[in-house]
Structure 1
Amino acid sequence: MPSYTVTVATGSQWFAGTDDYIYLSLLGSAGCSEKHLLDKPFYNDFERGAVDSYDVTVDEELGEIQLVKIEKRKYWLHDDWYLKYITLKTPQGDYIEFPCYRWITGDGEVVLRDGRAKLARDDQIHILKQHRRKELETRQKQYRWMEWSPGFPLSIDAKCHKDLPRDIQFDSEKGVDFVLNYSKAMENLFINRFMHMFQSSWNDFADFEKIFVKISNTISERVMNHWQEDLMFGYQFLNGCNPVLIRRCTELPEKFPVTTEMVECSLERQLSLEQEVQQGNIFIVDFELLDGIDANKTDPCTLQFLAAPICLLYKNLANKIVPIAIQLSQIPGDENPIFLPSDAKYDWLLAKIWVRSSDFHVHQTITHLLRTHLVSEVFGIAMYRQLPAVHPIFKLLVAHVRYTIAINTKAREQLICECGLFDKANATGGGGHVQMVQRAMKDLTYASLCFPEAIKARGMESKEDIPYYFYRDDGLLVWEAIRMFTAEVVGIYYESDQVVQEDPELQDFVNDVYVYGMRGRKSSGFPKSVKSREQLSEYLTVVIFTASAQHAAVNFGQYDWCSWIPNAPPTMRAPPPTAKGVVTIEQIVDTLPDRGRSCWHLGAVWALSQFQENELFLGMYPEEHFIEKPVKAAMARFRKNLEAIVSVIAERNKKKQLPYYYLSPDRIPNSVAI
């Protein structure tokens, strides 16, 4: 009688093993086997990290094995099991791989196909077509769209983390509990002792060091020592936490009536302001998005304030970017003066602090939350709903949505919800952050997620004109490496543009993103379908780059740049000044966050800047969803290209007092997971 050798690999994460009964059935082109109990007498099968082998004898020839069915039945108590993969050695000596990488819960079962990636058109056998269809029907019941707040991209229909499908939950929910992480951060930073003075002010800037010095690094210490300098202020728009707002100024806006006379002491080329604009030396950051946003009123004992400043910057003769004019609200007037470097020291300093605070709000809510977290969740939900596990695009993208839906669900449960942790320290808490996302959706376009196009749209593409824009330089290298990789994978499975156009599952995936993620807005520029291999490669590059590189660039520097409170105040306790010559150091300190909110803020940026345990970085694919040699070769080339980028960045950073490493591939996680 024919005999098969079955090898079963159990996951190595916590609680991956099981004591339940495991049964296996083989479905072949010539027949189906009986259900076999996989059990070795006197041996504890399916332990965490184990690889177990079994001989399975069948009564008759089964022909070509098409499916493997695994059933789990309760032994004593229900015991979830994480199955990595199954391999099969046939009587003819062939090896067949069946990737799984899924949890089997309760009295559950899973039916697996072999690991070869297949488009829908490749399945001509009824049983395979049926398996494909059933998988998507099941997933679409599990992964349902939900509107968390009007105007937001749709998200997963789950009230809390435990409501999610088991396959996309964190292995240990404890690791992403925001309340627990904040408390741990407070403990690690030795700042709990300040919490009893929650609403009291600091005495001076040096006072902030008391909650700062316990954990610091090269960048955060340099920020502390140089944050008042114009050079440091300007540098952050290029290479800080939020390097996506600065744009070349092609025309001075009427609402910002800066004149040459105001700024001539800052201009170094003996040109008028208009001439400097024409030569491309003037840049602008406009926080119009914040105009009219409601400030946090959740604490009736503490007033909190927001501003919507406009900041003009200048490229000096050393090619460094420095601020030359700041207006703290959108409408010019006598009570909205334009602050200048030539003003009194504290006038100018407070104006810059207001800009830094506004930048923090836009960074957290738009650059970070909306444009990486929420967008990546949309891609993830659409992928699970429309692409079966056998589809090559599912196999390509699944590593890049790992834990994203889970972390966002946790955020909605604890962080950005009503009375959540976001309200504790931020002036945009209490609903302002929701208003911001609703407004920013109009600017969330497909083109703005295409990194080279986004850089060009802001007039920031020239390395000769702007030589110290490392976010741009490194980002372009990583974007191109990802694009080359996706183009290779697309070329393996799609031999022509027509095959792309005729892939119904792919088209449903892209359409789901447009209809539900972008709410069907034509102005978003998101495609409803993809029509060529080149367009598909670009689309996949957007998905992967957003989840990996873009998130890394705007997330993991938060402690570096935001831990020194005066450099990134999460709230302000007095309104913007309406006149010059009246600001004192005492007024600035009283405007900055109180002790309690400073502590919450510091704990938050520390917790959010930490890598996950066992982090998987860009190019690491330990789950072998692909088994084909051409794809594995493409992955190897991808990793080699990424290693070359790591070397380039490391070499440049050797010469820098302020190294830029957020886009070094060895520091870019595969997915949004924190």
Structure 2
Amino acid sequence: MSRNVTDHHSIMDENRENKRMKQEGSERKKIKGTVVLMKKNILELQDIKASIVDGVDEILGHKVSLQLISAVHGDPAKGFRGKLGKPAYLEDWITKVTPPTVGNSTFNVTFDWDEEIGAPGAFLIKNFHHNEFYLKTLTLEDVSTHGEIHFVCNSWVGPAEHYKKDRVFFTNQTYLPSQTPAPLQHYRKEELENLRGNGTGKLAEWDRVYDYDIYNDLGNPDKGLKHVRKILGGSTEYPYPRRGRTGRPPANSDPKSESRLPLYASLNIYVPRDERFSYLKMADFTAYALKSIFQFLAPEFEALFDRTPNEFDTLEDVLKLYQGGIKLSSDSLLNTITEHIPFEMLKELLRSDGERPFKFPFPQVIKEDKSAWRTDEEFAREMLAGVNPVVIQRLQEFPPTSKLDPKLHGNQTSSITEEHIKNSLEGLTIDEAIQKNRIFILNHHDTLMPYLSRINSTSTKTYATRTLLFLKKDGTLKPLAIELSLPHPDGDQCGAVSRVYTPAEHGTESTIWQLAKAYVAVNDSGYHQLNCHWLNTHAVIEPFVIATNRQLSILHPIYKLLHPHFRDTMNINALARQTLINAGGMLEKTVFPGKFAMEMSAVVYKDWVFTEQALPADLVKRGMAVEDPNSPHGLRLLIEDYPYAVDGLEIWSAIQTWVKDYCSVYYKTDDMIQKDYELQSWWEELRHKGHGDKKEESWWPKMHTRKELTDTCTIIIWVASALHAAVNFGQYPYGGYLPNRPSISRRFMPEPGTPEYDELESNPEKAFLKTITAQLQSIVGISLIEILSRHSSDEVFLGRRDTPKWTTDTEPLEAFERFGKNLALIEDRITKMNNDEYWRNRVGPAKMPYTLLYPSSEIGLTGKGIPNSVSI
């Protein structure tokens, strides 16, 4: 439909409405309104031309119209939809002075309102400009018998020609479906239908469609076999949570795979319009593209990468990354950068503040003590208070066994014996230590063993590891033994070939022990990034974002509860699929599983169960806690000083209380849960579409009771906020110093009589550094995790909302205020515990307080703060 035709129809509608109102002889009243929005022309230079045209349009006639919709009276001629008021227009669009930078503009609007129509519950808006704008709020003043009425919009409103249905916004009131005023019910249902789309076609930038797809967009088969990857989702072999559908056409060489965007268009991958980063967030995130320059390099880069042109010779060389910056010595690499990096990016690379290239902030783990990371105590402490404190388990049988199928993998039982550890148990026997809950294990064996032959056929050379630890009387852990395992040379079916290493403090044995710990760290780094971080937070939450927008109206109480916890998730995940987890992306270049990375995470997803994502259930499953009704939170931790669990249970309890208080306002009985058709449709779709490969009924609550609703929403909020914070924002503080958490190993453990072993004896630091991540890969990896560990300038943290008027209901607002105060008390407790020397695991040898579950934070690289959502 052309713009002129659209304008003509709008004028005809207005004339008909005027005639009807005059015939009814209705009394009219003027209602003043205030609209807050952001004009796009102040945000994007490329839209200046469209903005000039819009200015001319405004001279010729009104171009942004709003019509109030009655929540009281339906129009019989239109199926009893809420009656429409007369169109009103934004005033002073041209003369209004707008900020020169990103900011709000406020406009007045005056409505003619028929008292007989009654109070408004929604409004329609039509934008006949060439540009979209971001509509934040509409506030009506002095509405008869109602006072102020507020609409929270927070949505991009594009040109009317982009929409098949007019854009509708509702007041900030909350209604269950059965309680929705009859005149608004049609608008409520129609808006959800619009958001679902029709499941076909390529989706455009302005579309608002939420739909599902499988992960068939990671590979790029049109570039050749090297870029082919497994399709994840839709199969029992490689199950996966669903992603947002883009509707891009299939690849030319494989109709089952989706075609990919060219690299220069990576930031424009489709997500529903309102899921895109804000301009402030995008400005911050652009730093990722600038600093991660290696994505933009020509094929020469890969050749340089394969030859590892630069090595760290000493640990002092590594420190130069943070103390003075380093320059890569390869002239060909620098020439490649100069030839292929746009000038603006090169400026950022070289920095304007006088710093040398590739200088990074000091990671916290070496800020106070440059060598504490090497101690056994810090190595073990980080399993309880590091960036990945969610894997360690209590050992319940000795020797550790395997769940791998012996027909395929032979005997995979651990080769650690009593002789290896019996003298390190403070006088206890192994059986006594197990019975007293004193032995723990970090076990990456079963996940990695099926892939090791393929992984080690590349430039990576690594092991599957098991690490046993002992809980000392002082509450700290010490490593007992590390087992490094490889597949049998005669075939995987022949079992594992393993070697066990025990702690050593001096000579060559000490260097070998440090290498053994490094292989453990490599395992843990990769498992963390792929599974604990990406899969268990980013990937599993995306279906909840999609289903919530498809099945729960913005008026629904559960939508209002959950919506803040979905902010930016679809956008960051889409960017990850485009540049991070894709074939040849940064994850494959910097984490040891390489091209098998995402395939491995799909295998791990087979064991994912929604109810086990609750923190108490997870701690019990891992044997880190036992149920105890006399203990706080109903659990007794078996390691009292387990900072992640201690702080996490406080946060979990606060979220649970808030959710329970909130849900009890709207659901007085279990019967109300069962009769809420939007809620039931939401839950059905999540289980059978969003997580469609995980349909086993026993893995999910039935959604029949208020407790099931409360538990479900608590898990969703926990995963999206606190769990993600715990496994994400410590990446740079702990892993920014690669020797502490190397992500790749390039050589096996040296054997006596080999040149590598001789080097290990003569120059242990160089041998260590030649085994772990190379210099160039280190720079790429550090650049990435520095960005991913930062809070953007527009972040919204747990216990806060981006608008105080998100509902009109008093009880939820009061409960939310209590939630915020509770989180403030938790912050105080965390600070006090970190300052109490009794809790040795909270600070440790690195003198690095555990703050990853400290709820609030400043912007930037802070190592603390819990954002509401998986936003980076």
TM-score by length of 2: 0.71
Cα separation, partners in 2 of 1:42 and 1:552, compared to 1, 3 Å: closer
1:6-155 aligned at under 5 Å gives the runs: 6-11=33-38, 15=43, 21-28=63-70, 29-30=72-73, 31-40=83-92, 43-44=95-96, 48-58=103-113, 61-74=116-129, 77-92=130-145, 94-107=147-160, 109-123=166-180, 125=182, 127-141=183-197, 142-148=209-215, 149-150=231-232, 151-155=239-243
1:631 aligns with 2:812: yes
Match 2:665 to one of 492, 503, 507: 492
* TM superposition shift of 1:169: 0.5
Aligned to 2:201: none
Partners of 1:588 and 1:395 in 2: CA distance: 52
* TM superposition shift of 1:625: 2.6
Match 2:451 to one of 282, 293, 301: 293
Partners of 1:525 and 1:43 in 2: CA distance: 62
Q: Deviations over 1:334-369 (max 9, x none)?
A: 952111115911221111110011000010000000
Cα separation, partners in 2 of 1:578 and 1:355, compared to 1, 3 Å: farther
Kindly indicate whether the alpha-carbon contact (under 8 Å) linking 1:3 and 1:91 is maintained by their aligned counterparts in 2. Answer: no
- Greater Cα shift, 635-644 or 35-44: 35-44
Match 1:339 to one of 501, 526, 531: 501
1:276-291 aligned at under 5 Å gives the runs: 276-287=433-444, 288-291=446-449
Q: Report sequence identity in percent.
A: 27
1:454 aligns with 2:610: no
1:229 aligns with 2:387: no
Partners of 2:771 and 2:800 in 1: CA distance: 46
1:510 aligns with 2:680: no
Match 1:210 to one of 294, 297, 320: 320
Kindly indicate whether the alpha-carbon contact (under 8 Å) linking 1:177 and 1:410 is maintained by their aligned counterparts in 2. Answer: no
Kindly indicate whether the alpha-carbon contact (under 8 Å) linking 2:539 and 2:573 is maintained by their aligned counterparts in 1. Answer: yes
Cα separation, partners in 2 of 1:145 and 1:549, compared to 1, 3 Å: same
- Greater Cα shift, 303-312 or 637-646: 303-312
Counterpart of 1:277, as a letter, is I
1:175 aligns with 2:284: yes
SS at match of 1:280: coil
SS at match of 1:163: coil
Partners of 1:353 and 1:329 in 2: CA distance: 14
Q: Deviations over 1:523-578 (max 9, x none)?
A: 58442641111111111111111111000000001111112212211111113457
Kindly indicate whether the alpha-carbon contact (under 8 Å) linking 2:535 and 2:601 is maintained by their aligned counterparts in 1. Answer: yes
Cα separation, partners in 2 of 1:406 and 1:519, compared to 1, 3 Å: same
Q: Deviations over 1:289-335 (max 9, x none)?
A: 1223268989x9x8112321111111122221111111112779995
Cα separation, partners in 2 of 1:376 and 1:641, compared to 1, 3 Å: same
Aligned to 1:374: 539
SS at match of 1:565: coil
1:268-667 aligned at under 5 Å gives the runs: 268=426, 270-287=427-444, 288-293=446-451, 303-329=459-485, 335-342=497-504, 344-430=509-595, 432-461=596-625, 465-523=638-696, 525-527=698-700, 529-576=702-749, 582=757, 584=761, 585=764, 586-623=766-803, 624-655=805-836, 656=843, 657-666=847-856, 667=865
- Greater Cα shift, 601-610 or 23-32: 23-32
Aligned to 2:354: none
- Greater Cα shift, 65-74 or 218-227: 218-227
Partners of 2:115 and 2:373 in 1: CA distance: 77
Match 1:200 to one of 297, 302, 310: 310
Q: Which structure has the bigger radius of gyration?
A: 2
SS at match of 1:265: helix
Q: Deviations over 1:255-289 (max 9, x none)?
A: 11323322233222x12222211221100111021
Partners of 1:96 and 1:378 in 2: CA distance: 33
Partners of 1:50 and 1:295 in 2: CA distance: 60
Cα separation, partners in 2 of 1:373 and 1:4, compared to 1, 3 Å: same
Aligned length: 660
Kindly indicate whether the alpha-carbon contact (under 8 Å) linking 1:259 and 1:273 is maintained by their aligned counterparts in 2. Answer: no
- Greater Cα shift, 589-598 or 22-31: 22-31
Kindly indicate whether the alpha-carbon contact (under 8 Å) linking 1:143 and 1:381 is maintained by their aligned counterparts in 2. Answer: yes
* TM superposition shift of 1:205: 2.7
Kindly indicate whether the alpha-carbon contact (under 8 Å) linking 1:236 and 1:242 is maintained by their aligned counterparts in 2. Answer: yes
Partners of 2:442 and 2:520 in 1: CA distance: 9
Counterpart of 1:461, as a letter, is A
Cα separation, partners in 2 of 1:440 and 1:524, compared to 1, 3 Å: farther
Partners of 1:290 and 1:593 in 2: CA distance: 19
TM-score by length of 1: 0.91
Cα separation, partners in 2 of 1:60 and 1:281, compared to 1, 3 Å: closer
- Greater Cα shift, 90-99 or 440-449: 90-99
Cα separation, partners in 2 of 1:492 and 1:310, compared to 1, 3 Å: same
* TM superposition shift of 1:247: 0.7
Cα separation, partners in 2 of 1:491 and 1:423, compared to 1, 3 Å: same
Partners of 1:650 and 1:427 in 2: CA distance: 36
* TM superposition shift of 1:442: 1.7
Partners of 1:530 and 1:393 in 2: CA distance: 13
Select the structure with the greater relative contact order (CA < 8 A; seq sep ≥ 6). Answer: 1
SS at match of 1:54: strand
Counterpart of 2:831, as a letter, is A
Partners of 1:246 and 1:642 in 2: CA distance: 27
Kindly indicate whether the alpha-carbon contact (under 8 Å) linking 1:9 and 1:85 is maintained by their aligned counterparts in 2. Answer: yes
Partners of 1:379 and 1:169 in 2: CA distance: 17
Kindly indicate whether the alpha-carbon contact (under 8 Å) linking 1:67 and 1:112 is maintained by their aligned counterparts in 2. Answer: yes
Cα separation, partners in 2 of 1:296 and 1:103, compared to 1, 3 Å: farther
Partners of 1:228 and 1:219 in 2: CA distance: 11
Considering only aligned residues, what root-mean-square deviation do their CA atoms show, in Å? Answer: 3.0
* TM superposition shift of 1:177: 4.4
SS at match of 2:806: coil
